[in-house]
Structures are given as C-alpha cells and as structure tokens.
Structure 1
Amino acid sequence: MSSNTSPPLRTDGLHHVTAISSDPQANVDVYTDVLGLRLVKRTVNFDDPGTYHLYYGDEVGSPGTVVTFFPFEGASGGRVGRGQTSATAFVIPQGSVEYWIDRLESSDAVDVDDPIERFGETVVPFRDHDGQPLELVTGESDIEPWDGGPVPAEHAIRGFHGVTLDSLNPDATGDVLETLGYERVGTAGERTRFRAADDRAAVVDLLDRPDGDRGRQGVGTVHHVAFRTADDETQEAWHDRLAEAGLQVTPQKDRQYFRSIYFREPGRILFEIATDGPGFDRDERVAELGTELKLPPWLEDDRESLEERLPALEVDRSIERTEGVN
C-alpha cells in the first residue's frame, strides 16, 4: 500500500534500542540481576553470526520494553557524543527513586549519579558496566512489570521512557521526528522534547550541542533506535513516505521476531522501523523465553559450529515466576 492511500501515518513510539557491549555474561548479569529485566531471547547477530544478539524486556518482550545488545568480546570502547543516541531511559514508578538509588549504589557493575529534575520528572542517570549512559525516569506506563525477577514488582522497570538523541543536525533530525508523527512539546536549554501520540515509550529528547565532541561507535554506545509500526502494510507505507522525503531506506529485513527497515537520518543516527509482531514467543513458550539459543532457519545448518564459538551464558532463574504462564 502506498502512502498516498494510507491513513495518516504516525509511530506509536519506540520498539527497541540496540547497543554494543563487551562481555556477554557481564551484560546478562547487569540487565537481569541488577535492572531486573528478563532475558527474552538469546540468538545471534544475523549479520555477524559469531556474536550473540541478546534481548531483554518485560515478561514477553513487548514492543516498547526491549533493549538488545551485540556483545563483542575484546572490542574497542566507543565514545558517546554527537551523531549518536546519548542515553536510553526506562520508566520506574513514582516513589521508587530511593529504592533504585540504593540498588544501583550497591552494585559494583554500574555507576550512578545524583537524581535530577527534567520536564517535571525525576531522572536517575547511571552508566552500565561498559559505560553506556542509562536513565531511570519516574512516570506512568501501561506496561505490567515483570514479577519473576529480582526487583519487587512495585519498583520494577515498566518499559522505556524514551531516548536522547545527540544529533549532528538537530533541525533536520527534528523534521524527521515530526515526519514520524512526533510532536514538539517543550524545550529546556539545549534539550527539545518530542512525544509520540501513544503513552508507551513515547519520548525522544533532541540535543543541540554544536560544540560537543562527535561520538565514536564501539562498546558502550547505542547502535540504532527502532520505532514501532503495526504490520507489514504500514511498514511499506513508511518505506514509501521516507523515500519520498529523500531518505535512503533499506528493503525489509526479516529479524524473525519482527521485520525491519533502516535509514540513517541527517543527524547521522541510525533509525529502524520495526513491526510489532510476530513476537518473541514464536519459537519458545513464554515460560521458556531466553533459555535456549535460537537461530533463524538459514543458520540452523551452522548450529554446531556456532554453539562451539559462542561462550556459555548463565542466567539466575531461581526466582522467576513459573506459574500463570503458557
């Protein structure tokens, strides 16, 4: 379906964020044991199958909750700066700030800063074991917290709040965000806030830092940001709309758990538009998500060699919920 006959297009917010990390076991430890997210899928980087692709989110990996990683052991550290996503933010409930500060400060794997106020919300900035900037932001979310992890449900992360983009061309990036259906809702200093129409994972903050250092991709940096679309039909409409706007958009790629198109916006940040389905339970029962290495059909013949190359991963499942899941 072309964009000329489609209903008005708008994204419902973020689908997922993909970053680059180092040691895969350390990555699992931080995002499951410290942050309390669920490892919902262990697969490989389809473009570099000798490396894991690890997905973390809520119980089922709902769109708007999933942070993913390419863990490259021994890779060089990156530098967060202009031309990159400079922070990924998660929602925590009102009243949970002190709990999270205590939890993060008690971990040797992360570095936490004092909370700040931003657009009327409390923000707890911290960095993971690779130095990647993360934030916890008080707010509301329609995501039910996963109650099978180490964080009590009343304090648990409820999906994404949003991301901060440190663009090399903020005006042009802002135009792209508006093409995606985001609305400018406020400005504070060098930061302009954009919000999607939906309430989940709806926020994108855009920085204007003309004198800031340019970023360098590597360990501790975000690789790309993905926005939601409902299905193949709307994704095709997005492809047409973005191409008409002069952006170089890839053909659709099958990522097994969603389908994707990619483009690099004028501020040099890699964007993806991903379908909501088919979801992470297409090849594992919900109770067993993330327990086995899952490969796409075209890599199954290489399973033995891949399993020999990939390091073993241990996930503490001793307190996961086992009842009430299919």
Structure 2
Amino acid sequence: MSVNTAGLHHVTAIAGEPQRNIDFYVTGLGLRLVKKTVNFDDPGTYHLYYGDTAGRPGSLITFFPWASVPDGRVGRGQSTSTAFSVPAGTLGWWRDHFSGLGVESTVTSASGDEERVSLRDPDGLQIDLVASSISDPRDPWDSASVPAEYAVRGQHSSVLTVGDPTKTVSLLTDDLGLRIVSERGNRIRLEAGDGGAGNIVDVVADPTGPQGLSAGGTVHHIAFRVPDQATQELWRRELVDRGHQVTAILDRQYFTSIYFREPGGVLFEIATDTPGFDIDEPLLELGRSLKLPPWLEPSRNAIENAVAKIELPAGNNPQLEEYTR
C-alpha cells in the first residue's frame, strides 16, 4: 500500500444515559468534552466526543448514548478494551481517585515496562489506564478533577478480539501499514507510525469465546488516522482494489470518514486529522453548545426537543467560566 496510518484516531462506543456518561468521562477520567453534537444517522440522540484540550486525533473517545439501550455482549468481532496513557507512577493516585467516586479498579499487570489498571465505565465498557516506562510527550487536559501531573495523555492502545487472528493481522500489516512488535500466547501486538502510546493495537485470538453483540457497553468501531481527504481518497481506492467493501467518504463535519469490516468482524474507520473541532466554535468554548452540521440546522428545534437535557460540568471550560463571572 502507498498509504500507512499514523496511528489511532478515536474509538466510538455505545452508552446509556448521556448525563451519566458525561459525568464519568469529564469528572472521573478527566477528559474534556470537546464536541456535543448528534448522531448524523440518528439525530434524535447525541454524539459526544471527549479528548484533550483541542480534541486532537489519538486523544479521542466518542459515544452514542441511548438512554434505553440494552446491554451488549463483549466478544469476538469487537474491540474489547480501550486503554489510555497516563504518566508513570500515577496509578496509585488513580486508584484512590476512582475509589472516591465509588468506581472499582483492578491492577491487571505490573512490570518494569508497563503498569495497567482496569475498570468499567457506568455502562460496563472496559477502560484501562497504562503507565509506561516510556514517557508520553503529549500535553494533557488539565481538568478540575484530574490535575495535569496525573492526567490522561491520550489513547494508549485498543484490543481487537477475533476468532482467527491470521487475516486480521495480515490486513493490519499489509493494508494499514502496522508492524508486529511482539507475540505472547494468544496476543499479537502491532504498532503504527512511530510506535508507542496512541499507535498500538493488540490482536487477541479467542476461537471459542462468544460472538460480540453491539449494544450498551461495547465499542462500535475504532478509527485510524489519515492526514487529509486527498490521502483518504487514495487509500480508499487501494482498499477497494484489494477487495474490501469500503463505504463512500462521509462528512463527519470535524473529519471525513470511510468504513469497512476487517476479516475478524471488527468495524474499522479511517478518519482524517483535519479540519478539527474548532471549525464551528472557539477552542475556549468546545463542548459548550449543541453543534449541528449545516444539513441538520433547519431541524434544530426538533432535535433540541428530542435529545435529553444535559448539564456540562463547569470545569469543562474553566477559563470561560472565570471570564464570565
């Protein structure tokens, strides 16, 4: 392939109550709500984006929250856990922080190279925090609940669980440009771009486990980075030529996207780094107002009446809150 991904762009999951989701990811995980919009395919529900100060690619997790969504089933054909990078030596602070919020967390690995704590969000989605011996240089969001010295730097990695990893790994290496860096038991680790946090995918073989069911508490898809739409168009043509069933390029307002399923059943998206989240509201005000794309703007009144009423924690826009006092 003439195009390789630079790493992870975002993960999108399915949640229940939107206010509960906001409270956990803003107050609990210390991320910033960088965009409050709607699901363009179902405008009666929100699409909530969380990330760093500006919502840079590689920092993002997004949600479709449906209040009455049934529980999903985690299993084959899904991304089964999402990990975020935090500074070395901070996992004790994080465990105390979650304990104070009534959230149970468990140390799942501890070595000289990597420490990991696992927990579940209010809908049961598995979230891991990874503290690596390799420093993550990305700037964090300095939130009201999580000071910068402890804060999430961005995505660390995603786990793909499949029945047979052979074709999945082949696609990741041959078509997306990742490289295998380790194999341990039933787990194959691959990296994109410069490697390290934000560029890691673990493929786990689970031939006898249950098939995943996409609903509450599960990942809907994971997205990989491409710099711009021109490169995305080239990549799409090459993927189609290789026999993949790829969607047309879709305008997601803050990036453009194409989608296809890898052989193990996981839904992949390739999303552009541009134009970004500040095209329709200033950086200082990200996530403050409901933003709609031009084609949904005529339906604003109906949409605002259909979506649930939610409140944004004041700490999401601290400078703005101080300015408007």
Q: TM-score, normalised by structure 2?
A: 0.94
Partner deviation per Cα, 1:261-312 (whole Å, 9 max, x = no partner): 0001110000000000100000000000000000011111110011111111
Structure-2 residue corresponding to 1:76: 70
Structure-1 residue corresponding to 2:106: 113
Identity of aligned residues (%): 48
> How far apart are the structure 1 equivalents of 2:221 and 2:144?
27
Instruction: Judge conservation of contact 2:285–2:317 (CA < 8 Å) in 1.
Output: no
> How far apart are the structure 2 equivalents of 1:262 and 1:113?
34
> How far apart are the structure 2 equivalents of 1:229 and 1:300?
28
> How far apart are the structure 2 equivalents of 1:216 and 1:118?
33
The 3-state SS of whatever aligns with 2:314 is: coil
The 3-state SS of whatever aligns with 2:20 is: helix
Following superposition of structure 1 onto structure 2, how do residues 28-177 of structure 1 map, counting pairs within 5 Å?
28-108=22-102, 110-117=103-110, 120-139=113-132, 140-177=135-172
> How far apart are the structure 1 equivalents of 2:292 and 2:112?
42
The 3-state SS of whatever aligns with 2:182 is: strand
Q: Is structure 2 residue 245 aligned with structure 1 residue 248?
A: yes
Q: Which amino acid aligns with 1:168?
A: G
The 3-state SS of whatever aligns with 2:319 is: coil
Instruction: Judge conservation of contact 2:160–2:204 (CA < 8 Å) in 1.
Output: yes
Structure-1 residue corresponding to 2:183: 187
Q: Which amino acid aligns with 1:288?
A: E
Q: TM-score, normalised by structure 1?
A: 0.94
Deviation at 1:112, TM superposition (A): 1.4
Instruction: Judge conservation of contact 1:38–1:149 (CA < 8 Å) in 2.
Output: no
Q: Is structure 2 residue 215 aligned with structure 1 residue 218?
A: yes
Residues 133/160 of structure 1: CA separation in 2 closer, same or farther (3 Å cut) = same
Partner deviation per Cα, 1:208-245 (whole Å, 9 max, x = no partner): 11111111111000000000000111101110121122
RMSD: 1.7
Q: Which amino acid aligns with 1:96?
A: T
Q: Is structure 2 residue 225 aligned with structure 1 residue 263?
A: no
Instruction: Judge conservation of contact 2:250–2:257 (CA < 8 Å) in 1.
Output: yes
Q: Which amino acid aligns with 2:92?
A: E
> How far apart are the structure 2 equivalents of 1:16 and 1:222?
11
> How far apart are the structure 1 equivalents of 2:117 and 2:270?
28
Instruction: Judge conservation of contact 1:165–1:204 (CA < 8 Å) in 2.
Output: yes
Deviation at 1:119, TM superposition (A): 9.2
Residues 87/248 of structure 1: CA separation in 2 closer, same or farther (3 Å cut) = same
Deviation at 1:121, TM superposition (A): 1.1
> How far apart are the structure 1 equivalents of 2:128 and 2:112?
14
Instruction: Judge conservation of contact 1:147–1:321 (CA < 8 Å) in 2.
Output: no
Deviation at 1:118, TM superposition (A): 7.1
The 3-state SS of whatever aligns with 2:76 is: coil
> How far apart are the structure 1 equivalents of 2:145 and 2:97?
11
> How far apart are the structure 2 equivalents of 1:153 and 1:16?
21
Q: Which amino acid aligns with 1:97?
A: L
Q: Which amino acid aligns with 2:156?
A: H
Residues 80/167 of structure 1: CA separation in 2 closer, same or farther (3 Å cut) = same
Instruction: Judge conservation of contact 2:47–2:64 (CA < 8 Å) in 1.
Output: yes
Instruction: Judge conservation of contact 1:11–1:227 (CA < 8 Å) in 2.
Output: yes
Partner deviation per Cα, 1:240-261 (whole Å, 9 max, x = no partner): 1211221100010000000000
> How far apart are the structure 1 equivalents of 2:193 and 2:38?
33
> How far apart are the structure 1 equivalents of 2:316 and 2:231?
40
> How far apart are the structure 1 equivalents of 2:214 and 2:288?
30
Of the three residues 7, 19, 26, the one matched with 1:13 is 7
Deviation at 1:169, TM superposition (A): 3.2
Q: Pick which of 232-241 and 83-92 moved more.
A: 232-241
Residues 122/250 of structure 1: CA separation in 2 closer, same or farther (3 Å cut) = same
> How far apart are the structure 1 equivalents of 2:7 and 2:315?
33
Instruction: Judge conservation of contact 1:148–1:320 (CA < 8 Å) in 2.
Output: no
Instruction: Judge conservation of contact 2:164–2:206 (CA < 8 Å) in 1.
Output: no
Instruction: Judge conservation of contact 2:32–2:316 (CA < 8 Å) in 1.
Output: no
Aligned positions, number:
318
